[in-house]
Amino acid sequence: MKRRNFLKNSTIGTAAMLSTPMLAAAAMPEGMKSKVPPTVKSRRPIVICTWDFHNASEKAWSVLKEGGSALDAVEQGVMVEESDADNQTVGLGGRPDRDGNVTLDACIMDRDGNCGAVLCLQNIVHPISVARKVMEATPHVMLAGKGAEQFAYEMGFKKTILLTEKSKQEWLEWKKTSLYKPIINIENHDTIGMLAIDRNGDIAGGCTTSGMAYKMAGRVGDSPIIGAGLFVDNEVGGATATGVGEEVVRTVGSFLIVELMRQGKSPQEACEEGVRRIIAKNGDKLDFQIGFIAINKEGETGGYCIQPGFTYRTYSEEGHVNNPSASHLK
């Protein structure tokens, strides 16, 4: 661990010294800064997350309201879903891969562009917290599989069997035909991506999932991939995704959306363009769901998806709202 800390400190030391928001903003060339008009009424603190996760967004909001950081808010918010055994697409109770193993993916990103991720992690209820440890206690960004699990135990996380009786019985039923057929808005419907802005105006994001049900062993989607399932730039905003991860990875969706906001698009326009890029690569074959949500520095939000049925939650001083997302197909 000593070596890890040394590596971490020595590699990011100079960057960290330059990474306070003011210094970073001053160092940033004009063309890289957000072009959000200063007239937009600021709506922060605020939290936004995929789907109707009212308990998770409520938890994140309580952290923000007490003056907590956006990073703590997103971690503690998504943890609510990770430990909910009834949510079969995140953490404990997640649907397994086709061999019956529950494998989890998660990533987290802070206001300074630091990030951490775990891929294909087994036996740990809170992959988001392991991802945060990867970010804060190692010189790395991603840890996968057995290495990630070993690291989690070293960090004090405890081993937990994640396959619940309900998910096990469904998997055994699936095995009778072994047909891999994701069902739009049902099978894939619970990955949580969350973005928050705290009282200081700083942005952070987190994303956590058990991935596609009955996936091939070792399959990893977009959710733990920085730039695909999640991206945050404290100068501009953040974006996160849900749905068929392969399609999001192919267009580096979340990074694209943040860059579009940097160029002046609203979060809504940027999400729509993100979805259009995916559509352009797929022609008429749109038998899958993708939903993007985004937030800009002022707390403006947006969401867009391919199929009807996607919603996202926002929680700010204006209230706690489940927003139906506009969709490409009607």
CA-based max dimension of the chain: 60
Q: Which is nearer to ligand SD4, 123 or 223 (CB)?
A: 223
Q: Which is nearer to ligand SD4, 64 or 102 (CB)?
A: 102
Q: Which is nearer to ligand SD4, 187 or 273 (CB)?
A: 187
| Binding span for ligand SD4 by CB under 6 A among 5-13, 150-158, 182-190, 280-288 | 182-190
- Estimate to the nearest angstrom the gap between the alpha carbon of 289 and the chain centroid: 16
Which region holds residue 262: left if phi is over 0, alpha if psi is between -120 and 50, else beta? alpha
Which x/- pattern over 239-278 shows residues binding ligand SD4 (rule: CB under 6 A)? Answer: ---xxxx---------------------------------
Nearest CA to 20 among 138, 141, 130, 114? 114
| Binding span for ligand SD4 by CB under 6 A among 68-76, 171-179, 238-246, 260-268 | 238-246
Q: What is the smallest separation between the CB atom of 163 and ligand SD4, expressed in angstroms?
A: 17
d(CA 8, CA 222): 26
229 Cβ contact partners less than 8 Å away, ≥ 6 residues apart: 107, 193, 207, 221, 222, 223, 240, 241, 245, 248, 253, 254
Which one from 191, 209, 301, 314 is the annotated catalytic residue?
191
Assess contact for 223 and 106: CB atoms under 8 A.
yes
Is residue 89 part of the annotated active site? The answer reads: no
| Binding span for ligand SD4 by CB under 6 A among 106-114, 154-162, 218-226, 302-310 | 218-226
E strands within 25-157?
46-50, 104-109, 115-121, 142-144
- Estimate to the nearest angstrom the gap between the alpha carbon of 53 and the chain centroid: 13
Residue 209 engages ligand SD4 in binding (rule: CB under 6 A): yes
Residue 188 engages ligand SD4 in binding (rule: CB under 6 A): yes
Q: What is the smallest separation between the CB atom of 31 and ligand SD4, expressed in angstroms?
A: 32
Catalytically active residues, by annotation: 191
State the residues that interact with ligand SD4 by CB under 6 A: 89, 188-191, 209, 211-212, 221-223, 242-245
